[in-house]
Amino acid sequence: MNSLWLSHFTAASCLGHGLDATLAALRAQKSGLAPCAFETVTDLATYLGEVAGVDQAPLPASLAEYECRNNRLAFLGLRQDGFSAAVESAIARHGRRRVGVLLGTSTSGILQTEQAYRRRDPASGALPDDFHYRTTHNTFSVADFVRTAFNLEGPAVVVSTACSSSAKVFASAARMISAGLIDAAIVGGVDSLCLTTLYGFNSLELLSPEPCRPYDVDRNGISIGEAAAFILLERPADSLDADAVLLLGAGESSDAHHMSSPHPEGLGAHMAMVAALKAAGLQPADIDYINLHGTATPSNDAAEGRAVAALFGDAVPCSSTKGATGHTLGAAGGLEAIISALALQQGFLPGGVNTRHVDPDIPIQYLTANRQVAPRRVLSNSFGFGGTNCSLVLGRAV
């Protein structure tokens, strides 16, 4: 594929608001996970990666019908790191119809519906009048919100493939730009804490009672997080800064195996990584760091580790940053693309946190400390329920 430029990007997660806070936490190997104290949840002994200040950041009156935790988190993200100004500048250059919006989410504003069900009319069972389905609950809500906030008139869509959602948006946006439908795209993902995912992962016995420990021999499940991750994707400018980051390739595959368990050999993961390398025109030896999906469930890390070892051996430093951020589900692909971009720009490899004893049965080079090595090309993995896989290859322009 033709390389595309991540001309601007920003992230909000439990590590903090914006790139400076995110980078500082990664440099310090800090985790943003804390004991669960979300909403009315008192019966789950787990850790969460909650973004600070979402409840205190209401939407402007003109966008009030979109009011829900997911869109508040989106709006918080859009106002960071000059991202909105960069979008306005892209609109001025390309036009309102030539800037697409392709965002990933798994649960959208479902928290709004969960809370509305508690307020059903005792007699009729009706939902309250102040509940707005289209602008909060519907899976498209966050892309509609961003398109409306910028007065855009071009293509827009939400990709909702569980935990690969906001990686797959890069592949779709790259195709749309290649086809000439658009000149730039706002990509990334927004996923926010809700009861469905907390109690759902609890039902699968996949919630860790401690901060999650990816690739640890004693790993025991995930820590759920939330994030907003936005990237402005465009064709590369004629001359790029030294720290410019490019999307070099994207690869997608399906496990065709099971709804909630990965293919045990990591076959689908392997296919996605091979496809991403092929799209980038690269060999495994060209990759300097892998940001793993690394959810810290026993089965994910075993299957992914097997696939990585089959393709890269133990030659490439790898880590999962979910010990720091939690698993941000539909926002994970976008958030981890941004962490990968920071690694490329800043010249370091982020070590995984919380992992005390790397699983000796997974023969990959797993980093538990930061390494001061400047990568030129990195691969980021995102896999999801339903057996949906996506790998991205990012690289320095120079």
Partner 1 sequence: MSKAVKLTAYLDGIGLIGPGLDSWLAAQPILAGTAPYESRPLTVAAPQSLPPAERRRTGLAIKVALAVAQEAVAAGQLDARQLAAVFSSSGADNDNCDAICKTLASEDRSISPTRFHNSVHNAPAGYWGIASGAMTPATVLCAHDGSFGAGLLEALTQVAVEGWGTLLVTYDMPYPDPLHTKRPLPAAFGIALALMPERSAQSLARIELSLADDAPDALAEPELEALRRAIPCARGLPLLQALARGTETRVVLDYLAPLSLAITIEPEHRG
Q: Is residue 224 involved in binding partner 1 (CB under 8 A)?
A: no
Which of 37/179 has CB closer to partner 1? 179
Q: By CB under 8 A, is residue 303 in contact with partner 1?
A: no
Alpha-carbon distance values, 293 to 20, 130, 163, 337 (Å): 23, 38, 9, 11
Q: Is 372 in the site for partner 1 (CB under 8 A)?
A: no
- Asked if residue 123 binds partner 1 (CB under 8 A), the reply is no
Count of positions on this chain that bind partner 1 (CB under 8 A)? 68
Grouping H, G, I as helix, E, B as strand and the rest as coil, residue 222 is: strand
Q: Which of residues 40-69 bind partner 1 (CB under 8 A)?
A: 43
Of residues 173-192, those binding partner 1 (CB under 8 A): 175-176, 178-181
Per the annotation, the verdict on 258 as an active-site residue is: no
Is 328 a binder of partner 1 (CB under 8 A)?
no
* Rounded Cα gap, residues 346 and 166, in angstroms: 23
Residue found under tokens 């322009």: 397
User: Alpha-carbon torsion 250, 214, 226, 32, what sign?
Assistant: negative
Provide the minimum distance between the beta carbon of 225 and partner 1 in the complex, in angstroms, as a whole number.
17
Contact residue for partner 1 among 231, 388, 392, 396 (CB under 8 A): 388
Edge-to-edge strands, sheet with 47-49: 34-35, 47-49, 224-225
Q: How far is it, in rounded angstroms, from Cα 281 to Cα 289?
A: 17
In whole angstroms, give the CA distance from residue 288 to residue 280: 14
Piece of the chain touching partner 1 by CB under 8 A; list 20-28, 50-58, 165-173, 320-328: 165-173
What's the token pair of residue 347? 């010249």
Amino acid at 187: V
| Paired strand residues for 229 | 11, 189
d(CA 41, CA 153): 40
99 contacts partner 1 (rule: CB under 8 A): no
Contact pick of 68, 73, 87, 162 for partner 1 (by CB under 8 A): 162
Residue 260 touches partner 1, criterion: CB under 8 A: yes
263 is catalytic: no
Q: From the candidates 8, 137, 270, 293, which is the catalytic residue?
A: 293
293 given a catalytic annotation = yes
φ, ψ for residue 179 (rounded to 5)?
-70, -15
Helix, strand or coil, per DSSP, at residue 319: strand
- Site residues (CB under 8 A) for partner 1? 43, 95, 97-98, 106, 110, 113-114, 117-118, 120, 125-127, 131, 133-134, 138-141, 143-144, 147, 153-162, 168, 171-172, 175-176, 178-181, 195-196, 199-201, 203-204, 252-260, 267-268, 271, 275, 384-388
- Report the catalytic residues: 163, 293, 327
